[in-house]
Each structure stands twice: as structure tokens, then as C-alpha cells.
Amino acid sequence: MNEQKPRAALFDMDRTLVRKETASLYVRYLRDIGEATTFDLLKTLYWVGQYTLGLLDAENMAEKALGPLAGTPESVLSARCEDWFGKYVEVHIAEAGRRAVQRHKEAGDVCAIVTGATKYAARPLARRLAIEHVVGTELELDTRGHFTGRAERPLCLGAGKVRRAEALAAKLGFVLEESTFYSDSVTDVPLLERVAEPIAVNPDPRLERVARQRGWRIERW
């Protein structure tokens, strides 16, 4: 008899499990500890707005955003993200998201955060929600464990998010076509199209149109 494969529930982070967009929250944190300026914050808000509207090259944005990390030890970013999450992000965790994760865990599903953010940003959320697996944009490290200022390809966005989700599925033995994926962004349509149960959570206007056209479930968290 063939062993039954596990089912999986995949969750985006920004505006999904967390009701806010976290990149600007992180730059606010850096500004408040003296590591960024108000101009940096305004620039980040502009980039996020352009990305949301589909007007920004994500690869180019990542290059500009990650450049200042060059030479920073991995341990420094990990510690900063832990501090930032507790002070700036935790209050914005969606209660409906907590409940959805709990339902899937009780059903025996594999749960994973699959986000365009880095694992350093997503791991504190995963721990709060007892989610074992995190898939995100990976940052290059040099031989000393310092960041190079570049991201590994593919970024965990669009088709790249599908590829990284496929790698997790192969590792854990689940099938994307039998999985559930929760996301707010039209940029995640490639992965939403792959799963059995695509769910648009707090969808941006373009994703809401797609979801209504295709009969996908829409939820407000």
C-alpha cells in the first residue's frame, strides 16, 4: 500500500499572517536605533508602494535594499530581527491567521511560511505561531559568515517563490497541487495557481479581481 503524502498549508507573511507590510516597519526600527534616516524610510515606503502596484523591478529593489548589509555579520541581523519583531511586529499578528495555522496543525498538515522576506525576518513569526518551516529570500554569506550585500537567486518572489516552494515540497514529501496557500499579493498568483486551495487574504486590488474571476476564496484577516 502506498504511503499517503502529507498535506501542506503555506502562508505568506506580510499583510497575511502579519496585518502590516514589514519592510517599512524594519526601517522604522533602524531609524529609531540610529541606523537609518527618515529619508531611508520614505524611500522604502516608495519602493513598497511601487512594488504593490507592479511598477518596480524586484531584482533591482533587492540589490539596492541589501547593499548596505555588506560586511554585516549574520548574528547581528538575527539579533536585530528578534528585537524588531518583538517591538514592532508582534502586535500586528492577525488573530485569524493564528486560528488558521492552528486548524491546519490540528488536521496534521505541514505548515510553512513562504515569503519574499528573509528567513531572519520570518523566523520570529514562525516561532510565535509554532510553524516549523520557513521559506524566504536567502542572503549570500561570505566565508566569515558576513553578508555580501546580495541575495541568492531566485528571489522568493513570483516564479522564484514557486521554485522554492517546490524544493520544500520535495524535501518534506508533500505535493503543491494538494496544498493550500494563503496570500495577499497578485505577485503570488504563480503559486496560488499551483495549489489545490488558493486563498486570497486581505488581497490587493489586482489579486482581488483575479480571485473573483477564478472563484478563489477571499478572507479578511
Report yes or no: 73 and 145 within 8 Å, Cβ to Cβ: yes
Residue reference for cell 516552494: 165
Instruction: Point out the least confidently predicted range of 90-94, 126-130, 147-151, 195-199.
Output: 147-151
| Residue 130 vs residue 1, higher pLDDT | 130
| Domain extents in the chain | 8-219
Determine if the peptide bond prior to 68 is cis (ω within 30°): no
- Mean pLDDT, rounded, for 149-177: 95
Assigned superfamily of 8-219:
HAD superfamily/HAD-like (3.40.50.1000)
State pTM to two decimals: 0.91
Check residue 72 and give its pLDDT: 94
CA pair distance 56, 66, nearest whole angstrom? 16
CA pair distance 55, 194, nearest whole angstrom? 24
Check residue 103 and give its pLDDT: 98
Report yes or no: 98 and 126 within 8 Å, Cβ to Cβ: no
Report yes or no: 63 and 155 within 8 Å, Cβ to Cβ: no
Check residue 67 and give its pLDDT: 82
> Where does the pLDDT of residue 3 fall: very low under 50, low under 70, confident under 90, or very high at 90 and above?
low
Residues forming the active site? 12, 14
